[in-house]
Chains A and B, each alone.
Chain A
Amino acid sequence: MELEALQQVESEIRGLGARLVVITPEIERYTRALHRKLNLTFDILTDLHLKVAEQFGLVFTLPDYLRDLYKSFGSTLDRFNDEPEYRLPVPARYIIDSGGIIRSADVNADYTIRPEPSETVSRLGALKGGPTSSGGLAAN
């Protein structure tokens, strides 16, 4: 659902001279299928074993009781992510300026809450428009 919603604003993001990528621990076989199915025009990047997510401080391990529950639903992370330890990234959206500095950070441990793509577009627009009005872009 989030990927479809991001796709809806992808051309706006490009129009602002910015880019969007999605990072996931899923292996390429699955990202390729998903990318085709949803006709995405942004890249889904495979972060095998969560090396990048770890650097952003986003990795957690699913507790045993949840691992067992998901297994009972047929969802197995070892298959999709080659991740036998059942680690995952917390959902997060960042905006990084061309100097490599984080200008917006939405991180939520509750995976049912996601930032609005339209909000990401307006923050990118604000970043483009004005130099630093410090704090104005801060999320959270």
Chain B
Amino acid sequence: MTAMAMLQERLDELKRNIESGAPPYNMSHEALEKMHRATAELKASGIENRALKVGDRAPEFRLFNQDHVEVASADLLRQGPLAVSFFRGHW
């Protein structure tokens, strides 16, 4: 493996730090409880099963990139397979 730890290991460490309630996050017990509740409710909503799955046809898309250039999935797929990661944002 590379010098960089696995992504999930680093995410788990961040989670431990946040959930410890210690600085710099100083997360209250109440806030953590709300976050856990929201995640549990979202899991229970069945969204993971409603999302598109292996074998489904992927929707085509045309979106603007960070430099306001339009990117079409069809153009990318003409060159080969495509990995698409949905990211909620850095806020």
Binding site for B on A (CB under 8 A): 1-3, 5-6, 8, 13, 16-26, 28, 30-32, 34-35, 43-47, 52-53, 55-58, 60, 62-63, 65-66, 69, 75-77, 80-81, 88-105, 107-114, 116-118, 120, 124, 127-128, 137-140
Contacts and interface: CB of A to CB of B under 8 A. Distances in A.
Contacts of A108: 48
Q: Which of B31, B68, B88 has the most CB of A within 10 A?
A: B88
B71 interface: yes
Nearest to B74: A100
Contact of B65 (A13, A43, A58, A104): A43
Contacts, number: 238
Interface residues of B, number: 59
12 contacts: A18-B82, A20-B83, A44-B87, A45-B61, A81-B89, A91-B86, A94-B52, A98-B79, A100-B57, A100-B77, A104-B54, A105-B52
Given A52-B61, A56-B52, A66-B38, A98 B77 contact: yes
B2 A56 contact: no
A96 B84 contact: yes
Contacts of B71: 21, 43, 45
Interface string B49-91: 0111111111111011111100101001111111111111111
Main secondary structure of the interface of B (DSSP, over half): mixed
Interface of B: 1-2, 4, 6-8, 10-12, 14-15, 31, 34-35, 37-39, 41-43, 45, 47-48, 50-61, 63-68, 71, 73, 76-91
Contacts of B82: 18-21, 95-96
Contact of A75 (B63, B83, B91): B91
A23 B82 CA distance: 12
Contact of A23 (B4, B8, B86): B86
Contacts of B67: 32
Contacts of B37: 65
Nearest to B28: A69
A1 B85 CA distance: 13
Given A94-B58, A109-B45, A124-B81, 11 more contacts: A2-B87, A3-B87, A21-B71, A24-B86, A46-B63, A58-B47, A95-B81, A96-B83, A102-B53, A103-B81, A110-B39
